[in-house]
Amino acid sequence: MQITRRKLLGHAAIASAALAAGCGPRRIAAPGLTTPTPGATTLSLPKVRVSDDRIIRTVTGLRPFRPSGFRVQVEKAGEKTVVHNYGHGGGGVTLSWGTASLAVEQAMQTGAKRMAVLGSGAVGMATTRLLLERGVAVTVYAKDIPPNTTSNIAAAQWFPVTVYDDDRISPDFMPQFVKAAEFAYRRYQLLLRSDWGVRWMVNYAMRDRPFHADELTGTESPIHHLVPESIDLPEGSHPFPFKYVRRYTTMMIETPVYLETLMRDIRLAGAQIQVRELHDLSEVAALPEPVIVNCTGLGARALFNDQELTPIKGQLSVLLPQPEIDYAVLSRDLYMFARRDGILLGGTHDRDVWDLAPDFDAQKRIVAAHAKLYAEMR
């Protein structure tokens, strides 16, 4: 079973949760696609207040995308063993613990007790933490550290979207994808605390057409067992101006809080961190550690000559916080995530674009589309 990139983008949101004070349905034992009881009480939700004068910041970032999917692979570089772990597209925060687990398994086969991790985004720090748990002495080499990483500005929830093009993946990729998703899903559940910035949240995906069974939230999805309480809401039972609405539960990850706590955690666990940029393979080869785990994201394009890597530019406009908003929305290419530090409005997926300058025409379009959606809510 394969999932098209079009369908993945239809669910764009980078990762999930459900403390939706009375809005979420009762938990079911076996997650799957169900239908609410006919005549169920109409769902009532507070509306997001969208206007230009509520925007507190606009941020952009580049997702490190490989059409064939993330790369977790070992290669020799002279006397060094390099374990690659990069290219997660829009699923970097979501899958970070999962691909870290895959990479650590390969790194541990070397028997080395000292290793280097390149990069300090979500993927690099999850990899570092798992290596430390295996008793490895780790030094992190990174051009930037939190809060100055791309991961810090991600609108992340547990939901692995925009990870690959279905016509480019190998037969071995999907089992890796599912294994990584399962490990990450369980690991984030261990971090469901306010100091980590991880909590359950209800999502509402909406369309003008029916949902397909092979979408990530559908019954034929390879990760449908990781999307609990997936329910199609009948017309009239919800306030949204769409015929088809699907509700499901996943975990919201507030990246500024999460990454700050994770950085403190790995320091306390003994990781050494050096803020420095590595420009070429000769500098990598000169590192004292015998095993290098490469978590450089888009940096791997130049550093390890991976020409398949390409950016997908994303842009967020952040509104003043609304504590009463405790749900997420995904509509066409738009998405809204409610966090403590603000309401995140997104809707750009510009492939092969390297320019980090904000696109204010795109901001105008996104803000106007969100304003229309909430104005039309019942």
Per residue in 40-77, pLDDT tens? Answer: 547 899 999 999 999 999 999 999 999 999 999 999 98
Q: pLDDT, tens digit, for every residue of 111-138?
A: 999 999 999 999 999 999 999 999 999 9
CA angle 139, 59, 306 (to 5 degrees): 50
Q: What is the pTM of this model?
A: 0.88
Mean pLDDT calculated for residue range 363-371: 96
Where do we find the tokens 């999502």?
A: 203
Q: Binning pLDDT at 50, 70 and 90, where does residue 6 land?
A: very low
pLDDT greater than 50 at residue 24: no
Where do we find the tokens 């919201």?
A: 252
pLDDT greater than 90 at residue 264: yes
* CA dist., res. 79 & res. 109, Å (int): 16
Terminal alpha carbon distance of the chain: 38
> What is the CB-side half-sphere exposure of residue 226 using CA atoms within 13 A?
26
The chain-wide mean pLDDT, for the chain, equals: 90
Q: What is the pLDDT of residue 37?
A: 54
Q: What is the CA radius of gyration of the chain?
A: 20
DSSP 206-257: EESSPPPTTSTTSTTSTTGGGSTTEEEEPTTSSSSS-SEEEEEEEEEE-HHH
Region at 111 (left for phi over 0; alpha for psi -120 to 50; beta for the rest): left
Q: What is the pLDDT of residue 8?
A: 39
> Closest by alpha carbon to 80, among 284, 273, 271, 276?
284
* Percent residues over pLDDT 70 in the chain: 89
> Closest by alpha carbon to 14, among 168, 153, 137, 127?
153
Name the amino acid, one letter, at 355: D
| Domains contained in the chain, CATH given | 1-378 (3.30.9.10)
> Closest by alpha carbon to 65, among 374, 324, 249, 307?
307
pLDDT greater than 70 at residue 10: no
